[in-house]
Structure 1
Amino acid sequence: MIGAFLLVSIMVLCVFQPFKEYVQIPTKITVFEGQGITFPATLPVQAKVGGTDTSVDVSHNDGVVAVSGRKTGQGKVLLEMAGFPIKQMNVDVIPEYKVYPGGQSIGVKLNTVGVLVVGHHLVDTVDGKHSPGEIAGIQVGDIITKINGKTVEQMSDVAPFVQEAGKKGESLQIEIAREQETIETELTPLKDKDEDSYRIGLYIRDSAAGIGTMTFYDPKTMRYGALGHVISDMDTKKPIVVQDGQIVRSTVTSIEKGSNGVPGEKLARFSNDREAIGDITRNSPFGIFGKLHKDIQNGKMDEALPIALPHEVKEGPAKILTVVDEDKVEEFDVEVVSKIEQKFPATKGMVIKITDPKLLEKTGGIVQGMSGSPIIQDGKIIGAVTHVFVNDPTSGYGVHIEWMLNEAGIDIYNTEDEEKAS
């Protein structure tokens, strides 16, 4: 009796794992026209197109179920075993989308909305040391947007209000943006006993600058994406709320090589002409976005490449495009160590490891300034480098290209056209 029980248990376990594979097959997939996706088929399963649909093709052979897109549209694929349905997949077939890969080193100049509070300081008055800003409840990371009802756009806008109020012995009505809130407070400037001027006890900033790497641009719309991660203020560590900004060409002058516990860095300078090659309209968790003023080339892959959806990314060899010497874009070997087939936007879509001996010798792995370097696999742009692992500079995270395109306002699913048609 016990022997029979064990035999049945073993048979159940043998069947369970293959059946589990089918349970894990998604009920909805998206494929590009002329491309497809495969699933393992360790059970005797038959795949067929549902109804009279002509958007998809299916096949089932050599232990694999293949679903491919014939033409743009929607279709259904039915999986059956012994005549019984076990899974239905809804398939969206969309047109192939191509963008130009980047890799160029770029300089980034951002102007904030209002002025950003990056610290407090004490004003040395005849009555002691005080910080009017701190007394008014203004915090590091707050953005001053209005003073006395008038919009503040840059640091030079602040001083006239402060000196005038100080001389009159009046308080300033301050409006600040904090997270998702708008807060009003009252601030009274104090006179510095050693200077004939008034102070508010706040360190403020209205712009930021740095370098990064171009990821892609779309020649049809001139929209681009770069960096692959949000730009945060160096002091407050909070994302910068962008009013506007520009990107310029930059030249890598040297590399500070990374090591365990110490991330490396590209050292670069803005181009001598400082000509803006594009504007910045968005600073999001997925990078910076805007429009280019003209076409740009990387000199390595100057042709549009198709993009890959998250489920198309696979573990294995890939390449990145980046600059490590002056303004020359080069191709380097990497490996996709693991991936996450994300259905919703998220920044950590894959783990990559630098395997190229030349790049490892030059940089030690992923360094600051390399963020945004496009990742190419099987002739497709799959994403961009975003972060380095501090304790292992040879490895880091990558973001799926789909989410960067979405943030750039590029609709690869043509949903706008569908909404207009409906």
Structure 2
Amino acid sequence: MNPNVKRLFGLALVIMVCFCCTTAPFRTYAALPNQLRLFEGQQKQLALVMPVHAQATVDRPDILQVNGHDRPSLRLSPQQPISLQSKQSGQAKLRLKIFGGIPFKTLKVNVVPDLRVIPGGQTIGVKVKSAGILVVGHHLVRVGVDKKTSPGEDAGVQLGDLIVSMDGTRLNDVTKVSDIVRRAGENKKPIDLIIRRGQTEVKTKLNPAYDDEDKTWRLGLYIRDSAAGVGTLTFYAPDQGVYGALGHVITDMDTQTPIVVGQGEIVQSNVTSISKSQNGEPGEKRAHFLKESRVLGNIERNTPFGIFGKMKANPEHSLYKEAIPVAFNEEVQEGPAEMLTVVNGQQIERYKIEIVHVTRQSSAATKGMVIRVTDPRLLQKTGGIVQGMSGSPIIQNGKLIGAVTHVFVNDPSSGYGCFIEWMLQDAGIVLTPSKSTQGKAS
């Protein structure tokens, strides 16, 4: 073939490919994922219109229907929208072919059991005791006229360590410590310590020192066994009897170490005032625990996505009496949404926000979206997001999509939110197909 003809042919082919890439069918095809997740009974319109006559084949029509038909194979007409309807939990494959047999697209569809939860928004009081004694500082003990020492530091105990045992006694209360230290000091014996340091268990021996000033035996450590504060309830799942709140981990205020929960509870709380946020200075909710307030639930876990535990009933003042659907991460869109929170007393209110950025996450990670408060009422009352709003549920298109987690210090009208999927996962609710149908798809 003449070289000039070959070049012209190649150029024409490149132009044709480039033209095809700009067409609407190609762009929608490229944007369509290879996998899709649906809840039972959910209908999904695919952003894909076949340019020619095509054939759709489903290997599990008992799980997935196409355009309202439960047949395993269906002919699609040009420009006909493709609608999927999930029937039951399980996995199915949708294969699209054009021109009678040329593979065009294969889509794996995971259908999970329907899940609905009740959005929160209530301000809650949080009381938590650590699963041991938390070390928050070293203390120098005067053991002579000109001599001071810290037995804890000498024994290699570090800030943020969790002392779980002393001389074989499991610790869950600081009141147990003084007697153990006194006995060891009087008997001139070191104390055997078992320490949890991150994910590692450390053993060491500590020799108490006698404080000449206070006339008592000391560890040379500042220790703490509990923490308290306020936050916001995100959701209550009535079918599972669990809740999620805060949207971020609880850390010790001195060491910034995540608190390992031994026991804890959430209670009713009342917002008394608001310290408004300003650029460079986040505000906060001022609230107090109600006297003789009833316990709403226990605290079983403290994770990067908040606190989780058991709850028996939907708390008072809820805006929702019935559960609503939740959204998968991939359903969250940039655009308008609303958050539920309390700024006075116990009354939950809806406030308009804008989701300005969504990070597509395939595994659990914080900071899934950037949000901005647009509601003039909230901006007037609080200046935007304040401390204590963390955990405030975010609603979009009638679904619970996530929770407020952090405020931008230099722009308090904006902050981060996490996806509800990761909070549900840490609450023990896993969004996967049921085992009865999970392994049957070919």
TM-score of the superposed pair, with normalisation by structure 2: 0.88
Give the equivalent residue in structure 2 for 1:55.
63
Written as runs of structure 1 = structure 2, the 5 A alignment for 1:172-191 is: 172-191=191-210
Give the equivalent residue in structure 2 for 1:101.
119
Written as runs of structure 1 = structure 2, the 5 A alignment for 1:23-422 is: 23-41=30-48, 44=51, 46=54, 48-51=56-59, 53-58=61-66, 65-82=82-99, 83-126=101-144, 128-413=147-432, 415=434
Q: Report how far residue 71 of structure 1 moved.
A: 4.0
Q: Report how far residue 144 of structure 1 moved.
A: 0.5
Superposed CA deviations along residues 26-76 of structure 1, whole A, max 9, x for unmatched, are 222111233233443377264623246243233577685443324444322
- RMSD over aligned CA atoms reads 2.5
Q: Report how far residue 256 of structure 1 moved.
A: 1.2
> 1:15 aligned to 2:20?
yes
Percent of pairs with identical residues: 47
Q: Report how far residue 164 of structure 1 moved.
A: 1.7
3-state SS of paired residue (1:41): strand
Cα distance in 2 for partners of 1:77, 1:368 equals: 47
Letter in 1 for 2:215: D
Cα distance in 1 for partners of 2:222, 2:368 equals: 37
Q: Report how far residue 356 of structure 1 moved.
A: 0.6
Q: Report how far residue 173 of structure 1 moved.
A: 1.3
Q: Report how far residue 298 of structure 1 moved.
A: 2.9
3-state SS of paired residue (1:325): coil
Change (3 A) 1:107 1:85: same
Letter in 1 for 2:168: G
Moved more, 350-359 or 66-75: 66-75
Indicate if the aligned counterparts of 1:49 and 1:57 stay in contact, CA closer than 8 A: no
Indicate if the aligned counterparts of 2:373 and 2:384 stay in contact, CA closer than 8 A: yes
Cα distance in 1 for partners of 2:394, 2:50 equals: 35
Q: Report how far residue 167 of structure 1 moved.
A: 2.2
Cα distance in 2 for partners of 1:34, 1:28 equals: 18
Cα distance in 1 for partners of 2:250, 2:308 equals: 11
Cα distance in 2 for partners of 1:332, 1:11 equals: 50
Change (3 A) 1:206 1:63: farther
3-state SS of paired residue (1:34): coil
Superposed CA deviations along residues 94-152 of structure 1, whole A, max 9, x for unmatched, are 33211111110000000101100011111122051111111110000001111112211
3-state SS of paired residue (1:336): strand
Letter in 1 for 2:93: K
Letter in 2 for 1:35: Q
Indicate if the aligned counterparts of 1:35 and 1:68 stay in contact, CA closer than 8 A: yes
Cα distance in 2 for partners of 1:246, 1:240 equals: 14
Cα distance in 2 for partners of 1:148, 1:354 equals: 53
TM-score of the superposed pair, with normalisation by structure 1: 0.92
Q: Alignment length, in residue pairs? A: 421
Indicate if the aligned counterparts of 1:319 and 1:332 stay in contact, CA closer than 8 A: yes
Change (3 A) 1:56 1:420: closer
Change (3 A) 1:294 1:420: farther
Superposed CA deviations along residues 4-44 of structure 1, whole A, max 9, x for unmatched, are 87665443323235546534532221112332334433772
Cα distance in 1 for partners of 2:179, 2:90 equals: 61
Where does the alignment leave 5 or more consecutive residues of structure 2 unmatched?
A: 68-75
Indicate if the aligned counterparts of 1:310 and 1:340 stay in contact, CA closer than 8 A: no
Where does the alignment leave 5 or more consecutive residues of structure 1 unmatched?
A: none
Indicate if the aligned counterparts of 2:89 and 2:434 stay in contact, CA closer than 8 A: no
